[in-house]
Structure 1
Amino acid sequence: MIGPPPGTRVYLACGVTDMRAGMDRLSTLVQQSLGTNPFDGAVYLFRGRRGRSLKALWHDGVALSLLVRRLEHGHFPWPMTSTGSVTLSPAQASLLLEGLEWRSVQREWRPTAA
């Protein structure tokens, strides 16, 4: 899957979101709950109650887009806080969209000298 480009701001809306909500309801949720502008180019991620579905809302400068992603096995790892938002790097967002653990990623050890 193609992830967000470098430099993109990615926000997780903590807590549970009604997955029946469309882009109008989710953009209202971004404005009211998170206090940010949904048309600023950032990606906003929302998770359903069971944790198997995720919606991503973003504005690319031309149109508002909504991506829906559902895992067949497992669930999307999500922060334990029930309110507010968490900021992710584009690399962490790519891991999250694949259903992988994004909170404890570690670099491989590389030798500094031969």
Structure 2
Amino acid sequence: MFALPASVRVVLAVEPVDMRKSIDGLMALVRTAWGEDVYSGHLFAFVSRKGDRIKVLTWSRGGFVLLYKRLEAGRFRLPPVDAGAQAVTLDATQLAMLLDGIDVAQVRRQPAWTPPERTGS
């Protein structure tokens, strides 16, 4: 699909969103409900009530980009969400899996490798 740098956040709405909302309507949600900067270059994702449609909004070089995907069969499998949360942050890999219909909650990641601590000199 597309590659995203690690510095880009993906914010996924927990509650379903009316897919009739345009760029301006989605911008208003990002600003008012989440207090996020819509011009940050981060991605903001919204899933429909049925769970078969998703919109991803981002700002890119002087204009907004709106990605829209409709599944012909099945539903997008959302990741686990803490109670009371309005949104959940994903990384680029999780977004790609979500858009491909993979159940992110069922995927097990290997722990990230970190170099051993240096002791004494």
TM-score of the two chains, using structure 1 as the length reference? 0.85
Contact 1:11 1:45 in 2 (8 A): yes
RMSD over equivalenced CA pairs, Å: 1.7
Within a 5 Å distance, the mapping from 1:53-92 to structure 2 comes to 53-78=53-78, 79=80, 83-92=85-94
Moved over 6 A (4+): none
Q: Does the 8 Å contact 1:58/1:65 carry over to 2?
A: yes
Percent pairwise identity: 34
* Number of residue equivalences: 107
- Unpaired runs of 5+ residues, structure 1, are 109-114
Q: 1: CA distance between counterparts of 2:84 and 2:19? A: 16
Return the match for 2:95 from 93, 96, 101.
93
- Bigger shift: residues 4-13 or 35-44: 4-13
Normalised TM-score (structure 2): 0.80
1:106 shift after superposition:
2.2
Question: Structure 2, unaligned stretches of length 5 or more?
Answer: 111-121
Q: Which has the larger radius of gyration?
A: 2
Q: Distance in 1 between matches of 2:84 and 2:53?
A: 17
2:39 counterpart of 1:39:
yes
